[in-house]
Structure 1
Amino acid sequence: MPTSSRFASQSRVPLPGSERKPFVPAGAPKAAKTPKVSTAVKTVPATGRIRVSLIVPPKQPLDTKRLGKLDARLSRAQFAARHGADPASVRLVKAFAKEFGLTVEPITQPGRCTVQLSGTCAAMRKAFAISLVEHTTEQGKFRLREGEISLPAELEGHVLAVLGLDNRPQAKPHFRIAKPRATNVSYTPVQVAQMYGFPAGATATGQTIGIIELGGGYRAADLTAYFKTLGLPAPTVTAVPIDGGKNTPGNANGADGEVMLDIEVCAAVAQGAKIAVYFTTNTDQGFIDAITTAVHDSTNKPSVISISWGGPESSWTEQSMTALDAACQAAAAVGVTITVAAGDNGSSDGASGDNVDFPASSPHVLACGGTKLVGSGSTITSEVVWDETSNDEGATGGGVSTVFALPTWQKNANVPSPTTSAGGRGVPDVSGDADPSTGYTIRVDSETTVIGGTSAVAPLWAGLIALANAQNKVAAGFVNPALYAAGAKKAFRDITQGNNGSFSAGPGWDACTGLGSPVGNLVIQAVAPKSTTTKKAKKGKTK
């Protein structure tokens, strides 16, 4: 058979989980006007160029049962050697790309199971047997596909996901700007940390916190001015561009509010930590590529990653969720903690019925819900579930996944039954102050404002983990098993009042605030990794 028709002559197989539902505009903060689709739908020009990310299998699958074990942790180099992209799959993809006139981009991070291809829209249509159309919304023009991607039969099992053919907005930021009310109070991140018992005077020197951003940007002058008001030096912040994303500050009503909230909260509570902000495009491709890049970043080496973007599980394709969760598994394997906002639209997550937000619902991240916190100094006078739906100021996300099964470490948490046989993972795991009426004083685009949302809780917990990593002199890594252990109960303030719609708070874990809000110094003790090798050695000596 001639090489030129090797793949073209093969029968086609659908790529599992690649089906795209009809387009529904998404991606803007709730305060923004909902974008509308125009009646004009055009075919994408054949000569336009696209870059796609193909996810291929690893050389060896991860043993997910060992994630979180200190003696199973790998360096980034070890992970790349054992679990990087399968060479046989990469060779097939390269041959496929050559036949269809696609260019293979250089692979710069061997730990990622990602092969990027670029080429014209016409070549992509032919290679993946798809149609591409252009929709126009108030947010701009988007390239869309619907239905399944198909592959030549020889690639079956060698390509797990194809991301980037469709560039519709995938996620929205989970922050809420406080509405002016006489009853509102606000705190600096340092004051919130003090109420939650973060160790006074502790620093996170030597740690890097990674932040994933799907838009917006920061200005160094704002950071300098903000930290001056706190009496602290401004952090060292590095912008890392992914898939064409970059630091592009706009205005305080856009995604800048998310970016500045994330940087200012985590840097204020984890003084001395460096910040690496991974800017990417608001697509499933950009989101996943940013996470894999951050996890395998051997230059900045983040030990914890904060994510404050997401969307209902129903808004994601199965292939995208699987690929993103695999990236979070890789993070756990190399000792990187990922904290994720649980959403700001209560138990519905802004969709019909009950839904949980993804990637917060991944069982390999620490999902962060929200509370309404009142106190001063080191004293908390009241803390209940964040629920301001009556004031149109949101409520904490939380509920039960319909996609991910109940993890072993959550089996004694009394998570409500799932509505699907595949589901069961309860969200959130932990919580913290998120109500905009008790929000955080933040500087955005030369303005001081008060912002809340679970977007504040993910960087708050990321900062706490960075402090723990510095104090314990070892990265906490995948912390969920340790935090759900019986011995960690004292590390939380149990939130027992309030609801987020369908779920109510109560003693122990609940689908509003998880295990509760942090008792900082005890969380640091709880997440200190414990070696199992030493225990086994001791047992062997006693026999």
Structure 2
Amino acid sequence: MDESTPVQVGIEANHRPIPGSERRVVAGAKRIAPVDPNERITATVLLRHRASTELVHRIEELSTLPFATRTHMTHEEFSTNHGADPSDIQKIREFANQHDLTVEQVNLAARTVILSGTTSSFNQAFAVDLAHYEHPDFTYRGREGAIHVPEHLTDVVVAVLGLDNRPQASPHFRIYNEEAGQTRALASQISYTPPQVAQLYNFPTNVNCSDQCIGIIELGGGYTSSNIDQYFTNLGLPSPTVAAVSVDGSTNQPTGNANGPDGEVDLDIEVAAAVAPGARIVVYFAPNTDAGFLNAITTAIHDTTNKPSVISISWGGPESSWTTQGMQAMNSAFQDAAALGVTVCCASGDNGSTDGVSDGNVHVDFPASSPYALACGGTRLTESGGTIASEVVWNDGSNGGATGGGVSSVFALPSWQSNANVPSSANSSGQTGRGVPDVAGDADPASGYQVLVDGQQFAIGGTSAVAPLWAGLLAIANHTLGHPVGYVNPLLYSIPSQDGAFRDITSGNNDINGSNQLYQAGPGWDACTGLGSPNGSKLIDALSQVGSASEIH
């Protein structure tokens, strides 16, 4: 048999597949050879919540409470009541011991167990056949089919991630200039500093957010303190306090290539810190795999040292590129965030209504499509005399990108979107699901953000910039209101339109090919810019007064 041919892995009689764990080969990749059976690797096992029904009920109750009466769990309360059950941890230890795997790390609050061992041991333990695959752009260790666990663990194990280490997500930023393969926006450029964008969106001024911490998730690249210091010196602002946290062995490693992932890292730090003066910034660096992404998020959410109140995520990929178990694992982590009063802001993607998938269907980006994430879409902003002259959907076509948005094929329509007139999916299924995005902000590279990356100054756009923009605004809200807004989505959809908290974007579409215009901007919520861009001061005032989610307008 050719070594590139998958072998039939024996599945013990009492083993069952983990629902939604099936993997297919990356399009355009081919199997090269089996992984060396003696190669040592790691994998992350996610376990069920304790008292999961009670947790869901508590989060549902949160979504109906006015802001002023909301209370959130402490980290200690959450870990004790809803972290992993120690008896479940023991079952995993016994399973690992039976299969010559080592328990490297246990996080009770995050419900994760990191296992290490040889490829041969993992193949046998989970009935997989790990092999090397080659794609024109990368190589990866992968698998096909489902992951299996013993029957007595089927209710215990929610997901097993990291056996397949294909790149899971892409950064959602766009550089205006055509450099190093980056695409050029099809418009003349007018760029802004983040404080200028904040001023146009009426963010409160003279605030000191030193009591707030913003967490930023990064799956590559890095920053240098000297670059950050120089950027803020150029702005005439104090340099922020920035710290890096290593997850799964990844560290702050600047590549020196301003067009690479360093662009994402510096953009996120510079936008968030510039619009929320004084806020501490903590950057969680992790490998770009499904396990790395999850572990970065759970590390941030359950970080009892830094305790970020807002988390910004500018990486993602089409729902169709994920396993169901991977999406459910991260969605579950975002539930944890909701219970703890942590807001998660996610970029909605830069490839329009198809999210870059060329199968003839429309797609939305994950993790933005999680109902527990604040999905951030993009606009093109034009300023005149210090005020907004016009604002439309960001759509530069296939050469320049467009805001992501549409209807999830995975997550059901949340109750707080029930009166938002979310359309049925434009796909032939016509299903009704969670609408993306929730909110918007300046994202067009042609009206982008002036940043400093690896010592080079230029403009960057993309919905990557909108997630830290909103993270900064919500950090200001947390400081101003003296209480975390936390799971903010139900509150935002409860704000009466006459309160003026949003600038309604009514012009444009996110059909990147310019032909079908499936999702159009219009009055109220739409699948291009959500509820609209913020009027910061009015939004914060409205949040302090908002009633229950049943009052959705």
How does the TM-score come out when normalised to structure 1?
Answer: 0.91
Separation in structure 2 between the aligned mates of residue 139 and residue 269 of structure 1, nearest angstrom: 36
- 2:181 is matched with which residue? none
Question: Does structure 1 residue 305 correspond to structure 2 residue 317?
Answer: no
* Equivalent in the alignment of 1:355: 363
Aligned to 2:515: none
Partner of 1:33: none
For 1:320, the equivalent position in structure 2 comes to 326
User: CA separation of 1:222/1:372 partners in 2, compared to 1, >3 Å: closer, same or farther?
Assistant: same
Residue 106 of structure 1 aligns to a residue whose secondary structure is: strand
C-alpha deviation, 1:245, in angstroms: 1.3
TM-superposed deviation, 1:331: 0.2
Q: CA deviation at 1:125?
A: 0.4
Distance (Å, rounded) in 1 between the aligned partners of 2:420 and 2:146 = 38
> Which residue matches 1:243?
248
Q: For residue 445 of structure 2, what is the aligned residue in structure 1? A: 436
CA distance in 1, matches of 2:211, 2:547: 22
Structure 2 counterparts to residues 5-404 of structure 1, below 5 A? 11-24=14-27, 37=29, 41-61=32-52, 62=55, 63=57, 64-68=59-63, 69=65, 70-107=69-106, 109-137=107-135, 139-179=137-177, 183-250=188-255, 251-351=257-357, 352=359, 353-376=361-384, 378-389=386-397, 392-404=399-411
Give the aligned residue type for 1:333: A
| Segment of structure 1 superposing worse, 179-188 or 320-329 | 179-188
Q: Residue 527 of structure 1: SS of its match in structure 2?
A: helix
What amino acid is the match of 2:100? G
Shift of 1:179: 2.9
Given that 2:25 and 2:142 are in contact with CA atoms closer than 8 Å, whether structure 1 keeps it comes out as no
Q: Could you say if the C-alpha distance between residues 122 and 315 of structure 1 is closer, same or farther in structure 2, counting changes exceeding 3 Å?
A: same
- Structure 1 residue 528 displacement after superposition: 3.5
Q: Give how far 1:54 is off.
A: 0.5
Aligned residues: 512
Per-residue deviation at 1:379? Answer: 0.6
Q: Distance in 2 between matches of 1:211 and 1:379?
A: 29
CA distance in 1, matches of 2:72, 2:113: 25
Q: Distance in 1 between matches of 2:536 and 2:142?
A: 45
Deviation at 1:106, TM superposition (A): 3.2
TM-score (ref. length: structure 2): 0.89
Q: Secondary structure at the match of 1:88?
A: helix
Question: Please, what is the CA RMSD of the aligned residues?
Answer: 1.9
Looking at structure 2, the residues matched to 200 and 383 of structure 1 have their Cα atoms a distance apart, in angstroms, of: 22
- C-alpha contact 1:216 1:248 (8 A) present in aligned 2: yes
Amino acid at match of 2:42: R
| One-letter identity of the residue aligned with 1:371 | T
Amino acid at match of 2:412: A
**How far apart are 1:404 and its partner, in Å?**
0.4
Post-superposition offset of 1:531: 9.8
Q: Does residue 485 of structure 1 match 2:483? A: no
Q: Matched residues in 2 for 1:378 and 1:331: separation?
A: 37
> Using the alignment, how far apart are the partners of 2:356 and 2:336 within structure 1?
30
Q: Which amino acid aligns with 2:33?
A: K
Say if 1:453 and 1:406 are closer, same or farther in 2 by CA, change over 3 A: same
Mapping of residues 382-461 of structure 1, within 5 Å = 382-389=390-397, 392-418=399-425, 420=429, 423-461=432-470
Q: Secondary structure at the match of 2:388?
A: strand
Shift of 1:253: 1.3
The one-character-per-residue Cα deviations of 1:437-463 (angstroms, maximum 9, x if unpaired) are 000000001100110000000000000
2-side partners of 1:321 and 1:217: how far apart? 26
Query: What is the CA–CA distance in structure 2 between the aligned matches of 1:298 and 1:344, rounded to whole Å?
Result: 33
Contact 2:478/2:485 (<8 A) preserved: yes
| Contact 2:84 2:108 survives alignment (8 Å) | yes
Write the deviation string for residues 470-489 of structure 1: whole angstroms up to 9, x where unpaired.
Answer: 11111110111111014365
Alpha carbons 2:62, 2:70 under 8 Å: kept: no
| Paired residue secondary structure (2:528) | coil
Equivalent residue letter for 2:406:
G
Letter in 2 for 1:465: L
Whether the aligned pair in 2 keeps the contact of 1:474 and 1:528 (CA below 8 Å) is no
1: CA distance between counterparts of 2:386 and 2:367? 32
Inter-partner Cα distance in structure 2 for 1:48 and 1:526: 56
- Give distance in 2, aligned partners of 1:56 and 1:423: 30
Using the TM superposition, give the Cα deviation of residue 529 of structure 1 relative to its aligned residue in structure 2, in angstroms: 8.1
- Deviation of 1:215 after TM superposition, in Å, equals 0.5
Question: Structure 1 vs Structure 2: percent identity of aligned residues?
Answer: 55
Matched residues in 1 for 2:155 and 2:347: separation?
33
Provide Cα deviations, 1:303-344, integer angstroms capped at 9, x if missing partner: 000000000000000000000000001000000000000000
**Structure 1 gap segments, 5+ residues each:** 1-7, 26-36, 533-543
Distance 1:19 1:137 in 2: 19
Pair 1:527 & 2:522 matched: no
Separation in 1 of the partners of 2:508 and 2:417?
22
Partner of 1:495: 505
The whole-number CA distance in structure 1 between the counterparts of 2:105 and 2:291 is: 17
Structure 2 vs 1, CA of residues 182 and 369 (structure 1 numbering), >3 Å: closer, same or farther? closer
How far is the alpha carbon of 1:377 from its aligned partner? 5.5
Check the 8 A contact 1:195/1:377 in 2, yes or no.
no
**Which one-letter code corresponds to 2:366 in the other structure?**
F
Q: Which residue identity lines up with residue 73 of structure 1 in the other structure? A: H
Structure 1 Cα separation of the partners of residues 187 and 145 of structure 2: 51
